[in-house]
Chain A
């Protein structure tokens, strides 16, 4: 899959090149905060989408390495479906959500889980998991 770079395989050191992130999140305040923190971590915020429907429609046109996925989106509790859809495409994803218990149920679909309310430290730890472990499962 072209979205996934070689450095994302396991036991390869983290990249010097920044990763390109998409946020699947329907609260613009959270999007703004995520955008800021992604940049703080030296990565690139590409865009945000607010529903699984938007993701299916627009994802292929975006050059994205990783996706941050909330559980509850504008079209319902579709975060797990979105994570599964991304896993099928071998795209690394993190759950970023206040619904941690639900996220745990779908833990196998994602590289990690970041709890809300957001903190830079927790998000950075999540992003590091992606750069270190990538999508190799």
Chain B
């Protein structure tokens, strides 16, 4: 469907076609008194620009309906979007052949709702007719806006689905590249997809598509935290992240947690990990620290986790993280402007 001016117009005024000057003035005065904006297309004016301005209702007197005008209106009605049915109020002469005119206009203007009055018409009757036509028109406008919103939502949904599929393909490729066996591949790939899925659910359930760091932390450690276990310490103030930020942090914590279980602070019965964060000045800082695990050696090749942490934390905080492979335990530290991490200006 091509974009027409009506796709965005307010449809908020009446266009009057009444060549006998006093008729137009009278109609303007009457309708204006009832708060209705009136534009008048005078004799000799081209009607096209008036129609392009997207009137909500058209009011035409009998004398205005020359073959040229009827055909110009018909052409314009052709261009109407599907939601639109133009109300046209026609004021007929008592002595005219009304049935013939009605059937001729009905045939010429198929996509219009025609309302006929016989002159003389009382002001009350005319005003209420125009007002009813306006109400119908506003309902059409609501339908239009609803359709617009639905199209917008469909685009956004498509966009997000494509993004998530692109992410999954990248997770797949990068996981596969480092897996020695099908078992390790399956375990790692499933873990990463599950982390992605869990954070998606959490963000979707959260109000306003924002989620707190604490929520992301709980989500990540829930599966690993035994009741009464104090081996996992997490602490920090309330900081909200948007959907992308929350997803990135969740995937980082997933990598850190699974690494700690396999090789680090949670690989021995008495090892510990802590994840703390805080705000100082306008910066948000975060620190991951492991202790009491198996002795740490710096990896000989850059693994998925290390590569992802560097890429993800640099993107989230705007500065690269510092990874310290301390023999006593891995330390990851990062800080960056709070306004950037939360994508909200400070203050």
B119: Cβ under 8 A from any A Cβ: no
* Contact residues in B for A28 (Cβ distance below 8 Å): 248, 251, 308, 311-312, 314-316
**Number of A-B residue pairs having CB atoms within 8 Å of each other in the complex:** 69
B311 touches A35 (CB 8 A): yes
B248 touches A118 (CB 8 A): no
A32, A35, A120 interface centre (most CB from chain B within 10 Å): A32
> Which residues in chain B, 320-347, are within 8 Å of chain A measured between CB atoms?
343
* Contact residues in A for B307 (Cβ distance below 8 Å): 32, 35-36
A21-60 to B contact mask, C-beta < 8 Å, 1/0: 0000011111111011000000000011010001000000
The B interface is mostly helix, strand or loop, or mixed, namely: helix
B169: Cβ under 8 A from any A Cβ: yes
* Contact residues in A for B37 (Cβ distance below 8 Å): none
A30 touches B166 (CB 8 A): yes
The A interface is mostly helix, strand or loop, or mixed, namely: mixed
A76: Cβ under 8 A from any B Cβ: no
A33 touches B315 (CB 8 A): no
Rounded to whole Å, the gap between the CB of A77 and the closest CB of chain B is: 10
A31 touches B166 (CB 8 A): no
For A45, the closest partner residue in chain B by CB is B311
A36 touches B159 (CB 8 A): no
* Contact residues in B for A118 (Cβ distance below 8 Å): 166, 169-170, 173
For A23, the closest partner residue in chain B by CB is B311
CA distance A120 to B318 in the complex (A): 27
B304, B312, B343 interface centre (most CB from chain A within 10 Å): B312
Using C-beta atoms within 8 Å of the partner chain, give the interface range for chain B: 20 to 34
Instruction: Known A26-B244, A48-B314; judge A32-B174 contact (CB<8 A).
Output: yes
Rounded to whole Å, the gap between the CB of B193 and the closest CB of chain A is: 12
Rounded to whole Å, the gap between the CB of A35 and the closest CB of chain B is: 7
Partner of B159, one of A33, A72, A74, A120: A72
* Contact residues in A for B173 (Cβ distance below 8 Å): 33, 118, 120
For A49, the closest partner residue in chain B by CB is B315
B167 touches A27 (CB 8 A): yes
Rounded to whole Å, the gap between the CB of B200 and the closest CB of chain A is: 14
Complex A-B, nearest 8 residue pairs according to Cβ-Cβ distance, in ascending order: A117-B169, A28-B312, A33-B170, A98-B162, A116-B166, A32-B311, A117-B166, A28-B311
Q: Please list the residues of chain B having a beta carbon within 8 angstroms of any beta carbon in chain A.
A: 159, 162-163, 165-171, 173-174, 177, 244, 248, 251, 304, 307-308, 311-312, 314-316, 318, 343
Between-chain CB contacts (< 8 Å), 10 pairs: A27-B166, A28-B312, A28-B314, A32-B174, A35-B307, A36-B174, A36-B177, A36-B307, A72-B159, A117-B168
